[in-house]
Structure 1
Amino acid sequence: MLVYRLPGTFDTREAHLDLLWEAGATGLEERAGHIRAYFGARTALPPEIADGDWTEEAEQDWQAEFRRTLRPVRAGRLTIVAPWHAGEAEEGTRPLIIEPGMAFGTGHHATTRMATEALSELDLAGVRVLDVGTGSGVLAIAAALLGAGFALGVDIDPITIPIARENAEINGVAPAQARFEEGTLGLGDLPELEEAPFGVVVANLYAELHDLLAGEYAAHLVPGGPLVLTGILTGKLDLVRAALDREGFTGVTVREDGDWALVTARRGEEP
C-alpha cells in the first residue's frame, strides 16, 4: 500500500485536502499529527502539498477504518452523519446525511459544525437562505432541514455541484427546497441572486474572501438579516471585523474553537 504522509491535521491543512483528492488519493486519514493519503501509484503533487513523504506499508482495509472512525457529530438541532451511520442521530435531533468525498464537508471540521450550530439557533421557518461556497452542500441542506423556505448553494468549483445535489437527494430535500448552482456573487449570472434579498446569508470560506465579499453579502441580505461567516483562522479575525464594520454590519459576535472562528452579524437597517 502506497501512503503519502503530510505533516499537519485536517484542521490545519483543510485547504490542501481537495488537492490530495484531485491528485488521485483513494482515501484520507488523520493520525499522529499527520494526514495520510492513500494512492494506487506514486504521482507528481502540486507544491502546496509537496512537504510530505512517500512510504510503502502493509495492505489494510482503509475504507473500513475510515467508516469506523468517522462518527456522527452533533450540531445544534441536527446530527451530521455519514450514510452508514444514518440511524445514529442523537435523540432529539434530526440526521443530516453527508457522503464524504471530494467536496470536503462532513461536519467533523469545526467550521462546518459551528456554522450548522449557528443556523440551528435561528428561526428559519419560511426564510430564504444563501450558502456561499456551498461545497458538499451541508449548510444549505441544513437550512432546508431546519425549516428554511428555500436555500440556494453557490460555488465556483463545478465539481462540487453534483455532489451537493446528491447529498440533498439523500436527505430527501427537493430542488424546490434547496438548489445548487455554479456561480459567483455580484456578476448577475444566477437569476436567483437577482430576486428579493435573502433572509440569511451563510459562508464557510476564508478571511480574505470574506473581506472581498462583504459588500456582496450586504447586497444580498435583507436589512437586519443575520450573516454567518466561518472558515476564519483566529489570527485573521481583525480582517473580517474591519470588513463588516466597513459595510455597516452590526451586532458582531465571535465564537472560537481551537484555531478557527465563527463570526455572526446583522446587516444594518436602512436609514
Structure 2
Amino acid sequence: MLVYHLPGTLDTREADLDLLWEAGATGLEERAGTIRAYFAAPAELPGPVADGEWREEADQDWQAEFRRTLRPVRAGRVTIVPPWLRGEVEPGQLPLVIEPGMAFGTGHHETTRLAVEALSGLKLAGLGPNGTGARVLDVGTGSGVLAIAAALLGARFALGVDIDPITIPIARENAVVNGVPAGRVRFEEGTLGEGPLTFPEEGVDTYDVLVANLYAELHDLLAGAYAAEVRPGAPLVLTGILTARLPLVRDALAREDFTGVRETLDGEWALVTARAPAR
C-alpha cells in the first residue's frame, strides 16, 4: 500500500486536501498531526502539497481498524457518535449521529467538541424572543454538526452555511438521520457579507447565537459580518483557532467592539466566546 505522509492536520491544511484528491488519492485520514493520503500508484503532486513523504506500507483493512478504534465523543449534553455506536450513548445524553468521513466536523477534532460544549452551556431553549428558543447561525457548517447540535439542544431554528456546495446535501442528510425537522434546521451554500442571512420568520433578520469553526484568518476577515448578523449582546462562539493565532482573533473582536471575550484552550487549539456589540 502506498501512503503519502503530509505534515499537518485535516483542519490546518483543509485548503490543500482537494489537491490530494485531484492527484488520485483514494482516502485521507489524520494521525498524530500527520495527514495520511492513500494512493494506488505514485502521483505527481503540486507544490502546496509537495512537502510530504511517500512510504510503502503493508496492506491493512484500514476501514475496519478505524471503526474498531473510534469512540463516542461527549461534548456537554451531547454525545457525537457514528451510527454503529449509537447504543453506547449514556442515559441522559443527546445522541448526535454523524457518519465519519462524510464531511469535515465529525466531533472527533478538538475544535468541533469545544464548539458543541459551548453551545451546550448556552441553554439555547431559553434564548430568543420571549424565551422561545434561540435562532442560531452556523458559519462554515461542513457536516452540519454544530447546527444539528444546536437544534437538539433546544434552538428554535438553525441555519448552516458553507461555501463548499458538496457539504450541503451531506449536512441535510445528517439532519434527517438525527430526526431534526426541516423547519428547525436549514443548510444553504453561501457566506457572510452578501446581505442578511434570513430564515422563516417574517421581519426577523438577526440571529441570537453565531457559531463558526473556521481559521483565525477567516474570523479576522468576517468579524464585522458576524456583528451584523446577530442581535446586540448575542453570544459569539468561535473555534478552529490555533493558539498561536489567538492575537489575530482578539484584535479582530476588539476592532468590532465585541465584549466579554473569553478563551478556552485544548492543546494547540482554542475556542473564543464573546458578546456582540451594542448598535
User: Given the two structures, how large is their TM-score scaled by the length of structure 1?
Assistant: 0.91
Report the counterpart of residue 118 of structure 1 in structure 2. 118
Query: Could you say if the C-alpha distance between residues 44 and 145 of structure 1 is closer, same or farther in structure 2, counting changes exceeding 3 Å?
Result: farther
Query: 1:40, CA displacement in angstroms?
Result: 2.9
Amino acid at match of 1:59: D
* Counterpart mapping for 1:233-252 below 5 A: 233-252=242-261
Q: TM-score, normalised by structure 2?
A: 0.89
User: 1:106: which partner in 2?
Assistant: 106
Identity rate of aligned residues, in percent?
A: 74
Structure 2 equivalent of residue 175 of structure 1:
182
Change (3 A) 1:68 1:48: farther
Shift of 1:34: 3.3
| Distance in 1 between residues matched to 2:265 and 2:6, nearest whole Å | 26
Contact preservation (8 Å) 2:197, 2:205: no
CA–CA separation in structure 2 for the residues paired with 1:130 and 1:26: 33
Q: Is 2:48 aligned against 1:52?
A: no
In structure 2, the residue matched to 1:28 is: 28
**Residues 1-271 of structure 1 aligned to structure 2 (within 5 Å):** 1-10=1-10, 13=13, 16-17=16-17, 19-21=19-21, 23-31=23-31, 34-125=34-125, 126-188=133-195, 191-192=198-199, 195-270=204-279
Cα deviation per residue 1:82-133 (whole Å; 9 max; x = unaligned)?
Answer: 1121221233211111112252211111111000000000011111000001
Aligned residue pairs: how many? 270
Letter in 2 for 1:132: V
- Please give the secondary structure, in 2, of the residue aligned with 1:167: helix
CA distance in 2, matches of 1:18, 1:172: 31
- What's the CA shift for 1:21? 4.6
User: Shift in Å at residue 191 of structure 1?
Assistant: 4.4
Q: CA deviation at 1:30?
A: 3.8
Mapped to 2, the partners of 1:225 and 1:195 lie a distance apart of 15
| Contact 2:4–2:37 under 8 Å retained in 1 | yes
Unaligned ranges ≥5, structure 2: 126-132
